[in-house]
Structure 1
Amino acid sequence: MKKIQIDAKEMISLMMLFELGTSMMSIPGRDAGKDAWIAILIATGLGALLFLCYGSLHRHFPDLLMTQYCKVLLGKTAGSVLAFLYIVFFLYGGARDLRDTGILIADRTLQHTPLTIVCVLMIGLVMYVMHLGIEVAGRTGLMLLFLLLLLGCATNIMILLSGIVHMSNIFPIAQHGWQPIWEVVYSQALMLPYGEMVTFAMILPTLKKSYRANGVGVTAVLLGGAILSFVTLSNVVVLGEDVFKRATYPLLSMISKVEISDFVDRVDVIGVMTVIIFDFFKIFIFYYAAVKAAEDVLRVSYHKLILPFGLIMLVSCVLMTQGYQEHLATGEFVLKWMFPVFAVFFPFLLLMVSWLKKIRNKKRKGYAS
């Protein structure tokens, strides 16, 4: 059977789409106010270092999924338990993003459509792309990312022409010191979205062997982080700190202000379309990782898991919280206390075990010689 492979451009596209996903909608680090763009830049640098851990594990086990080298490093029983926990983690991440996207669509475009119906349509499209395969998703992601970047450039030009940019909104920088910025980096801006990039430990084996995973991943993290920081800075200079912190969707609030000589207005539809496309790919990546992890753990073809896992993610999305405020509060708790376990603790534990085993094998070879 032909081995599934995607090239560096497609992998970078998928990573950037994933990274910008719900981050474009919610803007992580908003508690830092007008300094949120600085928090994102700091988190981007730390996120690049974090990805080096995932890339290093891939370099040690280039043909294995994360769930597979969990069993190699920790033993079959402990490794299988950890692999199962990652399945739950991937499903939860996808379900949260599915709900976030459903709320956005129901609020902005389909106001009279129940949230469940919107989520059914979205997860149905995700399942269809899963059936087509990661290669199709990679090629599609590359084309759509190019289109979205062009739309982003056009939108920024219209914002400048509208005369709504007020650079004074970002001054003074770090008015309350650097401690609040660092607190936001840990509690919000690092795990969302850079900690979530651990999901790509399930996708890196599909990268063509002529490319280095660390180079590809770090490039995607830095490019995506630069774009996210720029978008955040744009939100601040257009909306001002108070509106930026209070707005449900700062990006859409900013774009809705665009108006040029009564000729160009209602540009917010571009923002809604952009956010939906980014969110779709983020949901798909979480879903793909969960299905591929379950295929390895349960020894069942992923084709047979597409429908059951789609239903699990859909039901989880609908039932996870009772209201929007509870949804946000749960997200803040999980982001601060649960995500670091899966994004930092477990990967670094696996990397340390890998290094220790490598050192022990070298010593054994030295004794044997």
Structure 2
Amino acid sequence: MKKKVQIGAKEMISLMVLFEMGTSMMSIPGRNAGKDAWIAILISTVLGAMLFVCYGSLHRRFPNLLMTQYCRTLLGKRAGSTLAFLYIVFFLYGGARDLRDTGILIADRTLQHTPLTVICGLMVVLVMYVVYLGIEVAGRTAIIMLILLLLLGLATNILILLAGIVDMGNILPIAEHGWQPIWQVVYSQAVMLPYGEMVTFAMILPTLKKEYRANGIGISAILLGGLLLSIITLSNVLALGEDVFKRATYPLLTMISKVEISDFIDRVDVIGVMSVIIFDFFKILIFYYAAVKAAEDVLRIPYHKLILPFGLIMLVSCVLMALNYQDHLQTGELVLKWLFPIFAVFFPILLLIVSWLRKTWNKKRG
């Protein structure tokens, strides 16, 4: 008999925090709010936690089912299978976008003369290997990586303070242009990236050990990750100023590159690049794992047989999805504003409403 895969609270929280930070550390969602971006992230974190309650509630009603499975239970075989297939495409697309983001970062900062296809291909091979080992291995690795990254982050912040590049005046006055610009980026950027993407964990929550509550785990992870992301954003604004913060391609790396203490400590940006790559790796991994598990359920093919073809699909999609970096960014803005809300908000709420109606109907009949 096949052993049931189960992971504990620490593993799940670590995976969620790493996923949440992911590409958010690199791009900083809500940057259009300028020096108030950290406020937009805090607001989005609260909204993201509320959104996760929807995913957690569905898991509570169907604790042993993947999202693709209770899609069919609630919507019927034909409509449910169609929606499940769309989620496969959604997961693959999300992973491919993040893979391209990471590849561009590595090509720009460390391997300038290496083709993007080669960089992304190596990343995909590593992702496929970890998925082959299983989500339990990924969870245990996530705990170690999260602790390491938190320690590196603490050390980096200490170096930034010692370098004397922090100016408290850079965040004043708070909400100088009112609250409208803040709320605007909350809707268009900061909620969907990364909190709307947490719908991916609807494919992983069934592996959570039954003594833990999904909502408690998810909300804890979201609040922790949101707080960390807000602190990182605030540090960027304090060190760079609003103008550089908004214009920099990678604000975090720009900030870290400014650290220089007595000609003894410099080039700390290597730590930043390494940290971002690790965060991004886990985000790509989780998107990829969700896509493979969803396809296993829909196509009735063991997920180990899907690892290689799905890795190739993700790699090809990553390379072909945009002509250049600017095109990639513009497409991303449109996707976050119009496509992601459909999969992250509309469909899950629809499923929750149908679930509630069916439960109410069954009670009346009983």
Q: Which amino acid aligns with 2:34?
A: G
Q: Deviations over 1:79-126 (max 9, x none)?
A: 000000000000000000000000000000101100000000000000
Q: Deviations over 1:314-340 (max 9, x none)?
A: 000000010110000000000000000
2:194 is aligned with 1:193: yes
Aligned partner of 1:54 in structure 2 is 55
The alpha-carbon deviation at position 311 of structure 1 amounts to: 0.2
Aligned partner of 1:130 in structure 2 is 131
Question: Higher mean Cα deviation, 356-365 or 41-50?
Answer: 356-365
2:140 is aligned with 1:165: no
Aligned partner of 2:86 in structure 1 is 85
2:243 is aligned with 1:242: yes
2:239 is aligned with 1:232: no
SS of the equivalent of 1:192 reads: helix
Q: Which amino acid aligns with 1:81?
A: T
In 2, Cα distance between the equivalents of 1:276 and 1:180? 30
Pairs within 5 Å for 1:259-270: 259-270=260-271
Q: Which amino acid aligns with 1:5?
A: Q
Aligned partner of 1:326 in structure 2 is 327
Aligned partner of 1:308 in structure 2 is 309
Please list every run of 5 or more consecutive structure 1 residues that lacks an aligned counterpart in the other structure.
none
In 2, Cα distance between the equivalents of 1:146 and 1:351? 35
In 2, Cα distance between the equivalents of 1:249 and 1:180? 21
Q: Which amino acid aligns with 2:9?
A: A
In 2, Cα distance between the equivalents of 1:280 and 1:173? 34
Aligned partner of 2:14 in structure 1 is 13
2:359 is aligned with 1:364: no
Aligned partner of 1:26 in structure 2 is 27
In 2, Cα distance between the equivalents of 1:150 and 1:268? 15
Aligned partner of 2:113 in structure 1 is 112
The alpha-carbon deviation at position 64 of structure 1 amounts to: 0.1
In 2, Cα distance between the equivalents of 1:54 and 1:166? 40
Q: Which amino acid aligns with 2:119?
A: V
2:108 is aligned with 1:99: no
Q: Deviations over 1:144-183 (max 9, x none)?
A: 0000000000000000000000010000000000011000
In 1, Cα distance between the equivalents of 2:52 and 2:262? 46
2:349 is aligned with 1:351: no
In 2, Cα distance between the equivalents of 1:263 and 1:2? 53
The alpha-carbon deviation at position 223 of structure 1 amounts to: 0.2
State the TM-score, normalized to the length of structure 2. 1.00
In 2, Cα distance between the equivalents of 1:126 and 1:74? 33
Q: Which amino acid aligns with 2:364?
A: K
Aligned partner of 2:208 in structure 1 is 207
In 1, Cα distance between the equivalents of 2:28 and 2:71? 33
SS of the equivalent of 2:186 reads: helix
In 2, Cα distance between the equivalents of 1:303 and 1:209? 25
Aligned partner of 1:282 in structure 2 is 283
The alpha-carbon deviation at position 297 of structure 1 amounts to: 0.2
In 1, Cα distance between the equivalents of 2:179 and 2:145? 37
SS of the equivalent of 1:190 reads: helix
Aligned partner of 1:147 in structure 2 is 148
Aligned partner of 1:121 in structure 2 is 122
The alpha-carbon deviation at position 45 of structure 1 amounts to: 0.2
Please list every run of 5 or more consecutive structure 2 residues that lacks an aligned counterpart in the other structure.
none
SS of the equivalent of 1:193 reads: helix
SS of the equivalent of 1:191 reads: helix
The alpha-carbon deviation at position 253 of structure 1 amounts to: 0.2
Q: Which amino acid aligns with 1:51?
A: F
Aligned-residue sequence identity (percent) comes to 81
In 1, Cα distance between the equivalents of 2:236 and 2:354? 44
State the TM-score, normalized to the length of structure 1. 0.99
Aligned partner of 2:338 in structure 1 is 337
